[in-house]
Chains A and B, each alone.
Chain A
Amino acid sequence: MSGYEALAKKLVQKAVKRGATQAEVFLQVGRQADVRVRDGEIEDLTQATSKGAGLRVFVRGRLGFAWTSDFDATTLDAFVDRAIALAQASAPNPLNGLPEKKDLGRFPDVGALYDPEVASLPPDWKIQASVEMEKIVRAYDTRIKTIDSVGAGENVHEVYLANSAGAHGAWQGTSVYLYASPVATDGEQLQTSSWYDAKRFFEDLETPEEVAKKAAQRAVRLLGAKKVKSQKVPVIFDPTMAAGFVASIAAAANGDAVYKKASFLASRLGQRIAPEWITIVDDGLKARGLGTSPFDGEGVPTRRTAIVEGGVLKHFLYDAFTARKAKTRSTGNASRGYRSLPGIGTNNLYLEPGTKRPEEIIREVPNGFYVTAMLGHGANTVTGEYSRGANGLWIENGQLTRPVQEVTVAGNLIDMLQQLDAVGSDLTFHGSTGAPTIRFKELTVSGE
């Protein structure tokens, strides 16, 4: 294919020649550009090219890893030797090694991930789109007095993988994005919010107008936000907040955490953990998905894995090492960049939508909290304890009324799953994670 694929293979061969029992090279090349604007002018414009390679070697069961962004011939020589020398410092582990031959298999057809239009966008489009977003944001409401940032960008990336088990592959992708975070003030309070959209294909991207209006609306409606009294009420997460909740569940389905019993889901495989209309999927094959790729970080073909299906906990996510520990097979969830060893991650993660429109979900609540922003990491994968700072709008008699801030929403993830009592039809992807609006029957909101 290209010189980089040949380089990856050459480094693998060299590592084997220098004493590696097994070797693998993960190489990335890319170029990216980003612009931010302010007052109708460029604030900063960044353009770059980057590349790097990570070499993973196993020397009689010992793991060594080195990475470099310097492809100079002498550096690459030393780099192979360094990876092998590093293996001497780690302990031999019979479970170490490349994925099993049977797991390496044929790569699926994932469709196009590369948009020639994104790759050939003129430098001006970013500036024009950003200037337009800023104009719309500022015109949306007189209370929007300044912006934190408004910008756009694109990148083109290539991935090459080769290993000593004979697997090799390459793919290239594009991504393009718009973002806006305006600041609104009523003289007393400052409130901000942001919106962004990122897609692989230019024609899938929201328009600058859509991004700007959503960002502006989300900031303005928080003006005048106050605490509420501590109480237990129905709580609704908008799709962006719901996506964060889904990500917390996926983190607990990480096969490594499960194996170490460091997950509250560890002992619940095959059990009903949520209502039967809850299905959470990691789909590495999703057409045009930002998290889609033909193979994972160690060359295993990607696939669709249902974590929760019909409310039942069905599958955990694995890479090769953890699968071997758990005596199961890799699910194609080894995630990495060239600077890191593979670890378990999601591809395109989402909660399947229901049939209710979000307005209906709100309308059914006599007194509750609609959450549009959260602070803090909050979810403890080990215990399932969940507590995050939350901002949003209070619901009275089925209507969004006054803005709320400086409260926390708390619960336990396992209870929260069972508390789910509505899922909206509005599945929205924010990057590679997506969710619709969701409602919990009752959570603790702490304020005054």
Chain B
Amino acid sequence: MNAMIGFLTDPAHWTGSDGIPTRILEHLVLAFEALLLAALIAVPLGLWVGHTGRGRFVAVNLAGAARALPSLGLLFLVWLWLSGTLQGDASYVVPTLVVLVILAVPPILSGVYAGVEGVDPAARDAARGMGMRGTQVLAKVEVPCALPLIFSGLRSAMLQIIATATIAASIGIGGLGRFLIDGLSVRDYGQMAAGAVLVAVLALLVDLLLALVQRLVVSPGLTGAFSTARPVPEDRRAEPSSTSLQEAA
């Protein structure tokens, strides 16, 4: 622990191209790039699956199967595959981004489609009854109503990205993972532990930031929807329902 505090309080570690601020910035830039790329792929796809109901089976199983993929193995696999074709920085930046996007697409996709699919049919019918077309229903009713689940998908994708970006230091990418991997190779536990604490705090702050954005973006009329995830006290339960038990089966 003392070695870690020593590393963190040394002013030399807070400046330069391998200083802590630079590494934090590298980590953040990489993470948001990956999230943006993954969202560009997953959000339209998820909207389409949720709105039309087509490809639902594929989407569900894709999300489940992707969770089983070991990120470290995937990282080394893609790195080896691409190693002959890329030079310079691209030789580790491209494989890292590819893997981060592969891992981030399934959670976003399932959040988006589950959100759109779960919109109250009455709201959808009302929108149609008011004369909205398919795309209008999607943009004005389904997406706003699905935002809580869309954000939960984005947030779990971001956690996955930040964790995997850390281990991607082992194929050469910058970011906070450097302290962990470099510290490990020279048996400097202080440096490793400092990097670990920094990356844990970074993950936490980014998640809080996304939670804050979610709070600002999601309609206040919907925040009541969050309470359905919480246990309802017995005296306030309207009618005994067995839906949640049945759904899980």
| Co-complex (A, B) | no
